[in-house]
Chains A and B, each alone.
Chain A
Amino acid sequence: MDNSGKNHELDCRGLVCPHPVLRTKEIVELGGVQRLTVLVDNEAAKENVSRFLERSGFVVRVDFRGGDLAVTGTREEIEAGQEPEAWEEAELRKILVLVGTDRLGTGDDDLGRKLMASFLGTLKEMGRELWCLVLLNAGVKLATAGSPVLGEIQQLADSGVMVLVCGTCLNHFQLLEHKQVGDTTNMLDIVTHMQMADLVIPLT
């Protein structure tokens, strides 16, 4: 078990939520953590620890270890001995795309919806710089059952893009229980992520 300053391993097997997340948070708040592996034995803990690490700026990977799950978060910082690759990482910007509508442009709504579908399908071309997709106002409809772009958004989420869906907006449209992809979030979370991003692209 390596618990040096930058690398940590935490055994949270046998713990139920919220304890794996609270213990992970304590380690992260020590500061300077570049790599953290959290061993868990249940799906809820895996989901919540992964989500917490992602929100804390880690790139998260989940591996099976025996009958358990190892959630490993790595911060995109330069580590000793990995300068070339890490330098490339450090050069990457964190781009946040804020979508506040379910259609692009004005003039024709049907065209606008098609353009939005095309936009979300093409967004992956930003590559690893695409860090976060925020959906708010009518944009939250894109992440709910029946959305024609659910597959595209799921694909982004699966590739590691953080998808944040405004909870107030879901509630307003009475869609809280119809969300299919992304993390339900609040305005503080959205503002925090906008501040952390290197570039914010708003579509409203």
Chain B
Amino acid sequence: MAGKPEFITPEMTILEVLHRHRQTEAVFRRYEQDAKGCLLCQALFATLAEAAAKYGLDLDRLVGDLEDCVAGPTDQAG
């Protein structure tokens, strides 16, 4: 994946992000410790903003981590 990553916005649902960038699953799994719950089970249809509000996550950091993941060299889509 060359160039600037596709923009990830707080209004995107977790499902949208995962569908476009499968490699982001690892990021969401990482945040489950902070969320104290399974984001991918319980918040799949929530927007990033809603999930952050509900589970007390740092939204900016989450979006940033997702963008880093998408832009990163280890693009393991699929």
Q: Does A61 contact B (CB under 8 A)?
A: no
Q: Does B67 contact A (CB under 8 A)?
A: no
Contact B18 A22 (CB under 8 A): yes
Contact B13 A186 (CB under 8 A): yes
Known: A44-B42, A48-B41, A186-B11. A22 touches B19 (CB 8 A): yes
Chain B nearest CB, measured from A43 CB (Å)? 9
Contact B53 A18 (CB under 8 A): no
Known: A18-B25, A176-B53. A44 touches B41 (CB 8 A): yes
> Chain B residues with Cβ under 8 A from A134's Cβ?
none
Q: Does B44 contact A (CB under 8 A)?
A: yes
C-beta contact mask, A7-47 vs B, less than 8 Å → 1, else 0? 00000000011100110010000000000000000001000
> Within the assembled complex, what's the spacing in Å between the Cα atoms of A103 and B68?
46
Q: Does A51 contact B (CB under 8 A)?
A: yes
Contact A184 B38 (CB under 8 A): no
Q: Which of B1-60 contact A (CB under 8 A)?
A: 11, 13-15, 18-19, 22, 25, 38, 40-42, 44-47, 50, 53-54
Contact B44 A18 (CB under 8 A): yes
Q: Does A183 contact B (CB under 8 A)?
A: yes
Chain A residue at smallest Cβ distance from B13:
A186
C-beta contact mask, A151-178 vs B, less than 8 Å → 1, else 0? 0000000000000000110010000110
> Within the assembled complex, what's the spacing in Å between the Cα atoms of A185 and B43?
10
> Within the assembled complex, what's the spacing in Å between the Cα atoms of A188 and B50?
13
> Chain B residues with Cβ under 8 A from A25's Cβ?
15, 19
> Chain A residues with Cβ under 8 A from B25's Cβ?
18
C-beta contact mask, A45-67 vs B, less than 8 Å → 1, else 0? 00010011001000000000000
Chain B nearest CB, measured from A12 CB (Å)? 14
Chain A nearest CB, measured from B8 CB (Å)? 15
What is the interface of chain B, defined by CB distance below 8 A to chain A?
11, 13-15, 18-19, 22, 25, 38, 40-42, 44-47, 50, 53-54
User: Given A44-B38, A167-B53, A184-B46, 15 other A-B contacts at CB below 8 A?
Assistant: A17-B38, A17-B40, A17-B44, A18-B40, A18-B44, A22-B15, A22-B18, A22-B19, A48-B45, A55-B45, A167-B50, A168-B50, A184-B50, A186-B11, A186-B13
What is the interface of chain A, defined by CB distance below 8 A to chain B?
16-18, 21-22, 25, 44, 48, 51-52, 55, 167-168, 171, 176-177, 183-189
